[in-house]
């Protein structure tokens, strides 16, 4: 069988230099569904605070394919996997990573939270449907994988895998390892997806100026049982990735302008949904209609573009501003859940006590970092297996790393209000914080 990896084109990438696109992938990349990803900013509305954060899901997808190819080659060769098998897994994993985010809607995570999640849907599930129902993609997958014994259904199931129990590939690769190891290249704390996000988010936002030697991490990663183990000489890179991810969380993803714009955009989408200005129920049932939505088209629909909130969002007129930040000691941060409703009650009462009327539903909202932390670190229970020079292997949960990555105090939540109320609320911020301490003692 002629190698599928012998013919390719080379394209430039600002993060990796040069990356390959193989001939058998071109028909998939040129499909309408994949080209749509050029019109979806992967960081959603982050560019409202970080103007450089405009890279697309298209770019992220080919970046993760590049990373996963290097992972497969570097890690599997250490287990004496044959060249033919390595090639097979390179072809397979690249297709999975290319398509893993093809189901994102406009503004990525904002659309998912506002439209997909209330309907018990995910972008992975939408992506699996697109890969199945869009013939340009399913036929392209079939042609690439038929000689390896896989079908497009294997790729669909892999895209939908939320954990290793759902991973469709479980056969023995050789006497040492099985195909479950491939899941850790796809998802997890140090997966291809995570590494590309950390590198690309840092580069395009300009917020984190650190160089992560991801290739060194691959050199010191070995297949082990159903997963991977890291040589202790790679500990510095593991820590660097976690630290960078945490810095991105605190300074980019939880930036006050990013969060307020995200929530404003979410509220606009919910308004369009509730008032049936866009029939999202019909759209999510029909992948062809779903593919017509991107960052540019969704707010350009005839009966939508003149809605007051849509115009405000389009012209960057975010009505909310952060007035209160509530800090807590680092060591107590992970031990208590925050009652948003109780905090909102106290804030509203103190504002009204000062003679200012406020609408609970539209004039303010509370944003909790702990909630965002759980979304960003979904793999917080993921175990890092580290092998030391004496042959011993020590397992550590990522969750145990997190407290050491924070400063001495952490923002537990923020209170945002309409800009028209910001001066009055800011003037009473210390009174409100004191009331929260006295009445509920969050920590």
For the segment 58-84, the average pLDDT, to the nearest whole number, is 96
pLDDT recorded at residue 420: 87
**CATH architecture designation of domain 8-256:** Orthogonal Bundle (1.10)
Cα 198 to Cα 208: distance, rounded to the nearest angstrom: 10
Q: Please report, rounded to a whole number, the percentage of residues in the chain having pLDDT higher than 70.
A: 92
Among candidates 28, 88, 87, which has minimal Cα distance to 58?
28
pLDDT (tens digit, 9 = 90+) per residue, 128-158? 999 999 999 999 999 999 989 999 999 999 9
pLDDT recorded at residue 154: 96
For the segment 332-349, the average pLDDT, to the nearest whole number, is 77
Cα 55 to Cα 47: distance, rounded to the nearest angstrom: 9
pLDDT (tens digit, 9 = 90+) per residue, 109-118? 999 999 999 9
pTM > 0.85:
yes
Name the DSSP class of 253: I
Average pLDDT of the chain?
89
User: What's the Cα-to-Cα distance from 374 to each of 92, 102, 136, 341, rounded to whole Å?
Assistant: 30, 23, 36, 19
pLDDT (tens digit, 9 = 90+) per residue, 362-381? 888 888 876 556 555 555 45
pLDDT recorded at residue 331: 66
Q: Where are the alpha helices (DSSP H) in 160-276?
A: 183-186, 192-205, 214-219, 235-248, 256-274
By CB atoms closer than 10 A (0-12, 13-18, 19+), residue 83 is exposed
pLDDT recorded at residue 329: 76
Among candidates 179, 192, 175, which has minimal Cα distance to 80?
175
- pLDDT over 60 (residue 90): yes
Instruction: Give me the sign of the Cα torsion angle 23, 25, 28, 30.
Output: negative
Q: What would you report as the CA-atom Rg of the chain, rounded to the nearest whole angstrom?
A: 23
DSSP 306-333: TSHHHHHHHTT---EEEEEEEEEEGGGG
Among candidates 204, 231, 207, 227, which has minimal Cα distance to 217?
231
Place of tokens 């990735």: 241
pLDDT recorded at residue 285: 97
pLDDT recorded at residue 162: 86
- pLDDT over 90 (residue 413): no
pLDDT recorded at residue 427: 86
- Ramachandran bin of 441, using left for φ above 0, alpha for ψ from -120 to 50, beta for the remaining angles: left
Domain with CATH 1.10.3210.10 in the chain: 8-256
Instruction: Give me the sign of the Cα torsion angle 177, 182, 185, 189.
Output: negative
pLDDT (tens digit, 9 = 90+) per residue, 176-199? 899 999 999 998 888 999 999 999
pLDDT (tens digit, 9 = 90+) per residue, 11-26? 999 999 999 999 999 9
Per-residue pLDDT band at 356 (split at 50, 70, 90): confident
pLDDT (tens digit, 9 = 90+) per residue, 205-261? 998 887 889 999 999 999 987 889 999 999 889 888 888 988 898 889 989 999 999
């Amino acid at each position: 069988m002629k190698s599928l990896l012998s013919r390719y084109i080379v394209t430039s990438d600002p993060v990796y230099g040069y990356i390959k696109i193989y001939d058998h992938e071109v028909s998939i990349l040129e499909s309408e569904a994949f080209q749509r990803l050029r019109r979806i900013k992967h960081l959603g509305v982050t560019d409202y605070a970080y103007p450089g954060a405009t890279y697309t899901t298209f770019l992220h997808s080919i970046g993760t394919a590049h990373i996963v190819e290097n992972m497969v080659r570097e890690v599997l060769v250490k287990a004496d996997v044959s060249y033919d098998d390595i090639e097979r897994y390179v072809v397979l994993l690249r297709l999975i990573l290319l398509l893993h985010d093809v189901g994102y809607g406009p503004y990525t995570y904002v659309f998912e939270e506002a439209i997909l999640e209330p309907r018990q849907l995910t972008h992975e599930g939408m992506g699996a449907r697109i890969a199945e129902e869009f013939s340009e993609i399913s036929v392209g997958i079939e042609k690439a994988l038929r000689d390896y014994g896989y079908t497009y259904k294997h790729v669909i199931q892999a895209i939908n895998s939320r954990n290793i129990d759902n991973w469709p590939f479980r056969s023995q690769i050789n006497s040492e390892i099985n195909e479950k190891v491939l899941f850790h290249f796809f998802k997890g704390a140090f997966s291809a997806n995570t590494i590309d996000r950390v590198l690309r988010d840092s580069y395009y936002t300009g917020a984190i100026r650190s160089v992560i030697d991801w290739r060194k991490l691959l050199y010191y990663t070995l297949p082990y049982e159903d997963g991977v183990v890291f040589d202790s000489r790679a500990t510095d890179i593991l820590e660097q990735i976690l630290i960078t991810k945490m810095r991105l969380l605190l300074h980019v993803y939880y930036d006050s302008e990013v969060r307020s714009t995200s929530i404003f955009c979410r509220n606009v989408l919910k308004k369009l949904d509730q008032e049936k200005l866009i029939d999202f129920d019909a759209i999510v049932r029909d992948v062809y209609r779903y593919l017509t939505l991107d960052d540019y088209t969704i707010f350009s629909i005839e009966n939508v573009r003149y809605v007051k909130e849509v115009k405000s969002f389009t012209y960057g007129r975010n009505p909310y501003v952060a007035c209160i930040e509530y800090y807590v000691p680092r060591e107590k941060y992970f031990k208590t859940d925050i009652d948003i409703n109780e905090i909102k009650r106290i804030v509203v009462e103190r504002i009204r006590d000062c003679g200012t009327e406020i609408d609970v539903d539209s004039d303010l909202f509370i944003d909790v970092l702990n909630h965002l932390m759980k979304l960003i670190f979904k793999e917080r229970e993921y175990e890092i297996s580290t092998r030391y020079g004496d042959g011993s292997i020590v397992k550590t949960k990522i969750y145990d790393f997190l407290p050491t990555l924070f400063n001495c105090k952490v923002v537990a939540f923020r209170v945002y209000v309409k800009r028209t109320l910001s001066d009055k609320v800011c003037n009473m911020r210390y009174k409100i914080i004191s009331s929260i301490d006295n009445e509920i003692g969050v920590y």
